[in-house]
Structure 1
Amino acid sequence: MDGNFGLVHKTSSGVGHGQLASRHKNLFFEDQENVKEFLSHYGIDKKSNTSECSNFQAGNVIRSKIKTKKLDITGVFGSVCKHDIPVMMLDMTHGERLGYPAYILKKVLQNHTSNLVVMYDIACTLHRHLKKTMDSDVLRQCTFSVPVFHSFAHNVTCQLEYGQRFTSATGLTDGEGIERLWSYLRGFNKITKEMSINNRQDLLTDALLHHTFKAIHNLGMQKSKCN
């Protein structure tokens, strides 16, 4: 999971016919009203910050209050599976608040019964936060881990507890699949910020579908090479 602050939307571009007019509906993007309602009732831990083990700004409460009047969407928060296939996307209207990954976790776990490894730049902070805000059943289903390339920005204690290389059952998965997706989607940011809400969502969904089909094709190619 991770947030991308490049995929913004200008307020001046208008909403068009709205998110519900998107021809792809909520194939990847969650209904914005549901996200807003969840965040409005979701408590913010004022002591939550990453200064204990890293300098990442993700999840920082002060940053989460920053909202420019020129943007009605400040970015996209998303998740992918270990095969780099997109799972769920949320339009952000704040900074990278911990409520966004919490929302995705609650939605994914509704249809996911087996143990889930959650890889996030500040998985350590998210884990501590969820211990205070979510029920133990959810936490029992999740193992939290910091992706391999981001773990070096955390202190040694945090690396030993949350580093991907020390997380069982993750093998050589680097946890950076979402970064590869962002690298691909950044090519669309100059045009999507000028579109109406529904056209923006359709274009990004088309891009996500292309990325998905490509990832599935690559999986097949890798399997055939192994055989």
Structure 2
Amino acid sequence: PTGVGDLQRGKKFTNMDYILYSSISGTEAQSLDISYGISCIWIKNAKTRIEKLPPEMRDQVSSINIRPLIPKFHLAAHIQTCQSPFAWNLLPGCAQADGEEIERVWAGHNDVGKSTKEMALGHRWDVLDSFFGNWNWRKYLKFGMPSVVLD
């Protein structure tokens, strides 16, 4: 919810853990629903990987109850035994959510990734920060607006 991370190559769990736990450390949340396309695999050894985090981060996140979910669009591609435990439709408080928000963000940001690929690191971060800030500002301006306007 509060950050974006660079991945060296692919979605390595170590990187994903650090990005996720960095973004939630300092929060007062007691529970958190995580939407991740491979939650069923990621959660299996998450507790073991948490032990390898820096102590200050580990202490902050170890008390948060994390409920892993698979985004609705991705769910059908998983084997049957993964579908029910990680389905948004079957968990209290989640039925109307789809867990695909991050995909909507990336769809709008794919081009900026291509244009920042060759930039120096500091410049790249500044451009991405500006781009995400603009994205969030446009989202903020739409809060409270109806998603469908009928004539």
* TM range, smaller chain: 0.7 to 0.9
Higher relative contact order (CA 8 A, sep 6+): 1
The structural deviation recorded for 1:138 is: 2.8
In the alignment, is the contact (CA less than 8 A) between 1:116 and 1:141 conserved in 2? yes
In 1, Cα distance between the equivalents of 2:37 and 2:62? 20
Q: Point out the structure with the larger strand share.
A: 1
2:73 is the counterpart of 1:149: yes
- Say which of 210, 216, 219 aligns to 2:140: 216
1:119 paired residue among 28, 35, 44: 35
Q: Whose helix proportion is higher, 1 or 2?
A: 2
Instruction: Give 1:139 deviation, angstroms.
Output: 6.9
SS of residue in 2 equivalent to 1:154: coil
Q: 1:99 to 1:112 in 2, by over 3 A?
A: farther
- TM-score w.r.t. length of structure 1: 0.55
TM-score for both structures, normalised by structure 2: 0.80
Aligned residues: 139
Structure 1 contact 109–138 (Cα < 8 Å) conserved: no
- Within 5 Å, which residues of 2 pair with 1:55-70? none
Q: Percent same amino acid among aligned pairs?
A: 25
CA RMSD of aligned residues (A): 2.3
What do residues 129-161 of structure 1 show as CA deviations (whole Å, max 9, x unaligned)? 2133336x7375111100100011111111011
Gaps of 5+ in 1: 1-79, 81-86
Gaps of 5+ in 2: 52-60
Q: Give the letter aligned to residue 111 of structure 1.
A: T
Deviation at 1:182, TM superposition (A): 0.7
